[in-house]
């Protein structure tokens, strides 16, 4: 029986396979362990291809742009999304417009990987996601792989891509495991991936919220006999390929978007707008959204639990939307990071 592979190991395999095939690829960052996702690569490829830098985020991001424009394929890593913000000038003023500014003549093949932190008191400077903010910028491709297979395939395709790609990787997903298909070249990751099939409701989720939404699907099936179409919105390129979601919403008439980000002016609003524009005549109720509370992330556990939405919140929102009586959720346990993690980071 084929063994399961973790999300972290999948990313490592992707980078390893690509580095082996192309010596213009190198990894660079202030921390080049990245929770096991670069394990052994420095030893295998040397310090010139897995480069540990001083804590100089803006210069390092400028470096990868200069490398990309001069024929290399760099991969920059940030142990937290929040640290990437020191390089926002390079990302938004420089990288996003490099190809466009050259009248479309210059390639800009670079990948930035950034970890979305959560739990054990990460607080407001170690927990941001911000894929919504970056998805506003023309010239950047945003990916948010959720499963180990998607992580491997999307990272491999991102490295080969001639455009700048930013990968938002949720910290808790690094432990997820599944059997790998190991055939990624022909997979189109620019369309949403269907994780569950049903007829009564459409849920669109990003990143970790796919885990919460999957659990909510099971609860709704058991408690209310409600079946759900669940879509993993794994890249912002999916915004150009929403027909699979439109078909689902026209079938179910109801839609909920679970975004692992703040809601205000965010990606969830953009998706909702496009759905209403195409599906309004089939809608039985307004589109619902669930995401972070509109506050910076607090540290203490009870406050943190208030900040993040979970599977129970999704269930309650669905019950309210459809007009169902609240079911007992005593039989179910929420995913708890605390059972697995004792710090420090």
As annotated, the active-site residues are 126
- State the residue for tokens 């669930």: 290
CA distance 205 to 196: 12
Site for another protein in 77-136 (CB under 8 A): 89-90, 93-94, 98-108
CA distance 24 to 32: 18
Task: Give SS3 for 116.
Answer: strand
Looking only at the bridges linking them, the beta strands covering 50-52 and 193-196 are unpaired
Total residues in contact with another protein, by rule CB under 8 A: 43
Q: Select from 10-18, 19-27, 315-323, 332-340 the region that touches another protein (CB under 8 A).
A: 19-27
The one among 56, 182, 241, 264 contacting another protein by CB under 8 A: 56
Give the per-residue contact string, 306-325, with another protein (x = CB under 8 A; - = no): --------------------
Q: Are 153 and 105 in contact (CB under 8 A)?
A: no
Smallest separation (angstroms) from another protein to the CB of 268: 24
Task: Give SS3 for 225.
Answer: coil
Pick 118 or 141: Cβ nearer another protein = 141
Site for another protein in 141-180 (CB under 8 A): 141, 162-163
Pick 51 or 317: Cβ nearer another protein = 51
CA distance 138 to 156: 22
The one among 6, 32, 61, 147 contacting another protein by CB under 8 A: 61
End-to-end Cα distance, the chain:
34
Q: Are 95 and 139 in contact (CB under 8 A)?
A: yes
| Residues near another protein, by CB under 8 A | 23-24, 26, 48, 53-54, 56, 58-72, 74, 89-90, 93-94, 98-108, 138-139, 141, 162-163
């Amino acid at each position: 029986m084929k063994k399961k592979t973790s999300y972290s190991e999948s990313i490592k395999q992707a980078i390893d396979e690509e580095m082996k095939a192309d010596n213009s690829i190198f990894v660079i960052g202030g921390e080049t362990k990245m929770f096991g996702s670069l394990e052994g690569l420095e030893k295998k490829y040397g310090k010139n291809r897995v480069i540990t830098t001083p804590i100089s985020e803006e210069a390092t991001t400028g470096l990868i742009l200069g490398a990309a424009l001069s024929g290399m394929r760099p991969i920059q890593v940030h142990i937290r999304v929040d640290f990437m913000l020191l390089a926002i000038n390079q990302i938004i003023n420089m990288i996003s417009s490099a190809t466009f500014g050259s009248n479309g003549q210059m390639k800009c093949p670079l990948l930035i990987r950034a970890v979305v932190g959560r739990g054990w008191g990460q607080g407001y400077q170690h927990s941001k996601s911000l894929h919504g903010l970056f998805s506003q910028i023309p010239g950047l491709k945003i990916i948010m792989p959720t499963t180990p297979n998607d992580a491997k395939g999307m990272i491999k395709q991102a490295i080969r891509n001639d455009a700048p790609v930013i990968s938002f990787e949720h910290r808790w997903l690094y432990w997820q495991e599944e059997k790998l298909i190991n055939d990624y070249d022909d997979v189109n990751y620019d369309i949403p991936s269907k994780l569950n099939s049903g007829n009564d409701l459409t849920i669109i989720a990003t990143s970790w919220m796919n885990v919460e939404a999957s659990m909510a699907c099971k609860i709704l099936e058991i408690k209310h006999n409600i079946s759900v179409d669940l879509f993993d919105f794994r890249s912002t390129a999916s915004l150009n390929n929403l027909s699979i979601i439109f078909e689902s919403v026209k079938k179910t008439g109801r839609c909920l978007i679970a975004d692992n980000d703040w809601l205000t002016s965010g990606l969830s609003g953009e998706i909702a707008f496009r759905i209403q524009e195409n599906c309004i005549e089939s809608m039985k109720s307004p589109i619902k959204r669930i995401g972070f509370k509109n506050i910076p992330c607090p540290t203490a556990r009870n406050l943190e639990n208030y900040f993040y939405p979970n599977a129970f919140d999704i269930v309650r929102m669905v019950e309210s939307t459809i007009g169902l009586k609240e079911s007992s959720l005593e039989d179910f346990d929420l995913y708890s990071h605390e059972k697995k993690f004792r710090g420090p980071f």
